[in-house]
Amino acid sequence: MSRLWADYTPATISPPNVTTPGAGPFPPLMGRCCISNNLPFSDRSASPQLLERYVVFDKGRVVYAITSAPSLFNGNRSTPGQAPLETSQMFVLAVSWVVCIGVLHNAVRPQNNHNNIQHQIVSFITVMMWAVSSIFLLPLAASALPSFHYSSNHVPAYDYIVVGGGTSGLVIANRLSENPDVTVLVIEAGGSVYNNPNVTNVNGYGLAFGTDIDWAYESVNQTYAGGAKQTLRAAKALGGTSTINGLSYARAQVAQIDAWEKLGNDGWNWDSLFPYYKKSESFQIPDAARAEAGHMTWVVEDHGLNGPLKTGWAYTQANTSVPVTLNTTLQNLGLEWNPDINSGYMNGFSVMPTTADQTANVREDAARAYYYPYQGRKNIHVKLDSLVSKLTWKSGCETPTAEGVVFSSNGETFTVRAKREVVLSAGALVSPLLLELSGVGNPAILKQYGIETVVDLPTVGENLQDQLNNGEAWTVAGNLSVTGGQTYVAYPSFSQLYGNGSSTVASQLKSSLPAYAAQVAAANGNATRASDILDFFNIQYDLILNDELPLAELLFFNSAGSWASQYWGLLPFSRGNVHIGSPNTTAGGLIDPKYFMLDIDTSIQTQASRLARQTLHTAPLASFVGSELRPGANVTTDAEFAEFLKASYRSNYHSVGTTAMMAKSKGGVVDPAAKVYDAGVLPFQVCGHLTSTLYAMAEKVADAIKADQHESRIKHAPWTL
């Protein structure tokens, strides 16, 4: 018997055209026994939208899962996408949205005959099992993905292969599969977490950390921050890190997206991206009572109402006067109320929306938004628990062009070919490793591991940027206590952080940029020229001196007995890298963010810490605040703050830039049309949270791929996917 390959997905199928025992190559031991998600027994001819499975039984043993290959029942054993099967060993098990069970010996129920004894037997078994399944099994149905197999020597080709079923990958796969004439394969290292309470809990940030769905990448020792390693969280799950992040929905700033075009990315600016922010979004407008109680405001024209991704505020959003007190306090410090931080202008204070389904009161991740509602499409297949090890390349091409991928699953290795495109969307910490394992990168690094250079591109894995995250805490004075979601966020600008010292700091920073660029270039072995880094830094400098652009983010929380603030500089100048640590796997990648490498990052983090302290000591909030627990009132000088920050920081889990989208001459890895799309292509950090921009970017990319603009694909990138 041929071994078969897992995780074909289509859930909606046509019934097999079998009307007589013995039809096709299979023995006359077949039966149909389906329990739909809403009827005890259903016939597709009567209800064409039901998600059903068809089962073949051989002596009571279920041996094979089938969805969309009715021609197998008609004697065709070479159906595209299906391996030849040994008929004596064939059987079927249905697992998604329906539960099928039962055995029929020596009979096949005619397709539309409801009066024979076999149908009565099937109906009886089905009704009984439906009663049981409705109690025990149907809550699991939405998350159950069907299991399919290909033989190791017969793996079908797909039009598109998406490497990584995460935030960007699932958006692109969804949009490409809207065309029923193309086939899409998504390869994901993790599994489905649809019913995982550590994922679904809208107030459960951090519950999934350290569990089996957390990659928990470990950095190398951080030279500029005391030598300790850092853990970088990322999800090993369908839906990617959108399944474990903080649910924050905050877009970037207009000027920041416009700056992408200055780096050689024609057509990438706010005006071109804003429609895709809206296209991806289904903003849930809260009722007036909830909005008033939670102090939620928005500008409806800036939101999409019909996209796949639900945004808004969870029903567990706190009902409290805290945001009113915070707002008055921050106004006294020069930060005004911002009615909608997703309008493209973020400066000020607001109650931030989230990626939550307010009706179900669960997290809205990429899989819930872009995959599960569409898993019935026959032309999108998801391969879970499968790890891609490298790309394969077409032979005879003047420009190296990806042909497919090699991946492992259940101890076996497979190669699958893309007829049109490979979309690499494995994340900022993994996509560059896959490129290096495939021969794209710095020849000096590839040579260490015996990898032949296909494309000489030293900037792969460079330009890694992550934000620093620190926190402070105080006791609570009085009886003030808050429960529920608290998404209170302040976005101060450069001048609001530095106050009267702004001009002095700006002048010092400008004069330091050449030395900073030289330091970064030396640290990466001149993989990127200092002059190119300086050009990059000058653009970033102009951005942060723009008073409308926020330079830091401060979150405020209250719980029984304490106040807390978390904060981070939004646009770090320090640049690190990530490279392979093995010749044949992405495991053990050498991640070096180089936190605190450049003094300006320490300075910005210090000013954010000071502003958090100042906020808690300013009226009217000060009357509800007791003593400072961390860092302690004795920490006052720049040196003392730097010591505290370096001893207590963590990664903000916002890695970007490792496959930067910009001109190759400026250190770019991909061009505006190359097919690597995840957080790695962002040339520098965004002022909001990454998720919203990644959804929008992937929507825009999907449209570009569907337009099939081959003539404009290769502009700066020295290869194409």
Going by C-alpha positions, the residue among 114, 101, 99, 108 that lies closest to residue 39 is 99
Share of the chain above pLDDT 90, in %: 69
CA–CA distance, 205 with 363 (Å, rounded to integer): 10
| Residue-range definition of the domain harbouring residue 428 | 157-212+233-282+365-456+660-721
CB 589 within 8 A of CB 217: yes
CB 625 within 8 A of CB 617: yes
Shared domain for 127 and 275, answered yes or no, is no
534 pLDDT higher than 60 = yes
CA–CA distance, 195 with 190 (Å, rounded to integer): 14
Shared domain for 248 and 372, answered yes or no, is yes
Question: Is 270 part of any domain?
Answer: yes
3-class secondary structure, 185: strand
CA–CA distance, 479 with 494 (Å, rounded to integer): 35
Shared domain for 272 and 408, answered yes or no, is yes
Active-site option among 303, 381, 654, 716: 654
Last residue of a domain, one of 152, 181, 201: 152
Q: Using N-to-C axis directions, what is the helix angle for 599-616 and 638-648, rounded to 10°? A: 100
Report residue 211 as tokens.
């569990």
Shared domain for 109 and 207, answered yes or no, is no
Q: pLDDT (tens digit, 9 = 90+) per residue, 121-151?
A: 444 444 344 334 333 333 344 445 545 566 6
Question: Is 187 part of any domain?
Answer: yes
Shared domain for 187 and 110, answered yes or no, is no
Active-site option among 303, 381, 579, 689: 689
Q: Sign (positive/negative) of CA torsion 495, 498, 503, 508?
A: negative
Question: Is 288 part of any domain?
Answer: no
Shared domain for 121 and 262, answered yes or no, is no
Q: pLDDT (tens digit, 9 = 90+) per residue, 66-101?
A: 333 333 223 333 333 333 333 333 223 332 222 222
Shared domain for 429 and 391, answered yes or no, is yes
Shared domain for 161 and 148, answered yes or no, is no
Shared domain for 31 and 70, answered yes or no, is yes
CA–CA distance, 65 with 95 (Å, rounded to integer): 9
Selected residue with higher pLDDT from 386 and 97: 386
Shared domain for 114 and 250, answered yes or no, is no
4: pLDDT confidence band, cut at 50, 70 and 90? Answer: very low
CA–CA distance, 716 with 714 (Å, rounded to integer): 6
Report residue 429 as tokens.
């910490």
483: pLDDT confidence band, cut at 50, 70 and 90? Answer: confident
Last residue of a domain, one of 117, 133, 152: 152
CB 539 within 8 A of CB 266: no
Domains of the chain: total: 2
111 pLDDT higher than 50 = no
Per-residue DSSP letters for 69-95? -GGGGGT----TT-----GGG------
Report pLDDT for 666: 83
Last residue of a domain, one of 132, 152, 172: 152
Active site residue 710: no
Shared domain for 7 and 133, answered yes or no, is yes
**CATH number of domain containing 165:** 3.50.50.60
Going by C-alpha positions, the residue among 714, 710, 676, 694 that lies closest to residue 273 is 694
Question: Is 307 part of any domain?
Answer: no
Shared domain for 115 and 191, answered yes or no, is no
Question: Is 327 part of any domain?
Answer: no
Share of the chain above pLDDT 70, in %: 76
Query: 383 forms bridges with which residues in the sheet?
Result: 187
Active site residue 617: no
Question: Is 326 part of any domain?
Answer: no
Question: Is 345 part of any domain?
Answer: no
Question: Is 547 part of any domain?
Answer: no
pTM of the model: 0.81
Q: pLDDT (tens digit, 9 = 90+) per residue, 467-482?
A: 999 999 999 997 776 8
